[in-house]
Structure 1
Amino acid sequence: MPTRRHFLIGFAAAPIALPGLAQASDAPAQLSLTPTCSDDDDLTQRQTEGPYFSMESPEKQDFANDAPDGERMTLAGYVLTQNCRPVSKALIELWHADETGRYDNSGYKLRGHQFTDAEGKWWFETIVPGLYPGRTRHYHLKVQRPGGSVLTTQLYFPGEPLNERDRIFNETLLLDVSPTDDGKFGRYDFIVA
């Protein structure tokens, strides 16, 4: 079985896989429910930021050292416009619970931001968040293209038993998750106005 690094190298080396274009048989498939940039109505859905957002997070990609006992997860994707153009230098901010479902509200563990590269790619090395009481497993994110408005949303895990009971769960915000030898690899492409 491949590792998270294998998936990340493949992701970083691959060109953008746009909806409607022929893909090689070994190319990763897009989730059918994930918004695509081919339809103006399919922008990434907004969701509440929740009670635990902290301003002025540090710029970082590696959250894994913040929770050494957590199951490793690589999150990756693109930021694209409605016209399927990659957005470089878009801000991606991530925060989430640790493996026990707790948020760090006094510091910046499992909190940080980065900027997309010239091809609109982003990725974080982190962990699978634990269950927070009353919610399904999720990540919180903010995405902002240069000069654009801030998209605040959440990303979810497919097959989670609590998805159906979570009052704000949205199936268009499901990650495409693959198991690896050393954790999980999750992908989501943000479509922004």
Structure 2
Amino acid sequence: MRHDHDAGGGHTSSRRTFIRASSMGMTAAALAAAGAASAAAHPTTAVQQARAQGRPLAVTPACDGHETPAATEGPLFKPESPERGNVVTPGISGVRLDLSGVVYDTACAPVTGALIEFWQCDQNGDYDTSGFALRGHQYTDNRGAFRLQTIIPRDYWGRWGNRAPHIHTQVQAPGGPVLITQLYFPDGTQAYGRNFAALNAQDRLRNSACTITLSAPQDGRYTGAFDFVIKTTV
């Protein structure tokens, strides 16, 4: 069953105990950022360019200090998702994606223990509203890194028109404000026989600054990179 996916709803701080200021009992994800080499990708930050070119990264690379652009949360966020880095559950097929990156503050320092929530639709353009397929949260490790194993989502038709494939995220430093945004895919992405360039062009909610850097597909799988820059104080 398809759902009317998008609405202009904003974040309500009380709907999830989302600000975990003390982070007691928090288990940091011991996951490292994976490299991404691409000829067809479109890097948007210096660190993504380094990954795409296969160059080593400094612990704190140069950055412009601008926060990752925010976006609407939409109506389908679910609180209390499982803590996990792999959100592909039984019954989910689709083009696999291994996404990694680093969360930085506006001074370009990695943020340890940042909480990242991911949720998205499946290969048919449907969100799981009864369970937690393709939903999960994790914490950045001591280098500010995260890794997500998922699939490339399908486009779908909602109240905002035809939505390009995207992944919803909420990112938060311990005790800091929540950044709500959506991640998109390069025009040359190949999945489900869809024209990503056309889908991206007609999606009026899409922000090209939030485009994932993708490697060329290998064995039908993609490797991607995206780095977040967030504020750490309210």
TM-score range, shorter chain: 0.7 to 0.9
What residue number does 2:25 align with? none
Q: Is the 8 A contact 1:63 1:110 kept in 2?
A: yes
SS in 1 for 2:201: helix
Unpaired stretches in structure 1, ≥5 consecutive residues: 1-7, 12-17, 30-35
Does residue 164 in structure 1 map to residue 224 in structure 2?
Answer: no
With normalisation by structure 2, the TM-score equals: 0.67
Larger Rg: 2
Aligned pairs, number: 172
Match of 2:118 among 94, 97, 116: 94
Identity over aligned pairs, percent: 41
Does residue 148 in structure 1 map to residue 176 in structure 2?
Answer: yes
What residue number does 1:39 align with? 64
Residue type at the aligned position of 2:229? I
Report the Cα offset of residue 180 of structure 1: 2.4
1:100-179 to structure 2, matched below 5 A, reads: 100-133=124-157, 134-159=162-187, 160=196, 161-178=198-215, 179=217
Q: Equivalents in 2 of 1:78, 1:69: separation in Å?
A: 27
Q: Is the 8 A contact 1:155 1:173 kept in 2?
A: yes
Go from structure 1 to structure 2 and tell me whether the alpha carbon gap of 1:48 and 1:124 turns closer, same or farther (over 3 Å shift): same
What residue number does 1:3 align with? none
Unpaired stretches in structure 2, ≥5 consecutive residues: 1-31, 36-44, 188-195
Residue type at the aligned position of 1:155? L
Q: Equivalents in 2 of 1:187, 1:77: separation in Å?
A: 5
Deviations 1:126-179, CA, capped at 9 Å, x for gaps: 111111212001000000011100000000001022111111111100000112
SS in 1 for 2:163: coil
Q: Equivalents in 2 of 1:49, 1:184: separation in Å?
A: 25
Deviations 1:72-101, CA, capped at 9 Å, x for gaps: 111110000111110010001000000000
Residue type at the aligned position of 2:165? R
Q: Equivalents in 2 of 1:185, 1:28: separation in Å?
A: 17
What residue number does 1:55 align with? 79
Match of 2:95 among 71, 85, 88: 71
Report the aligned-residue RMSD: 2.5
SS in 2 for 1:65: coil
What residue number does 1:184 align with? 222
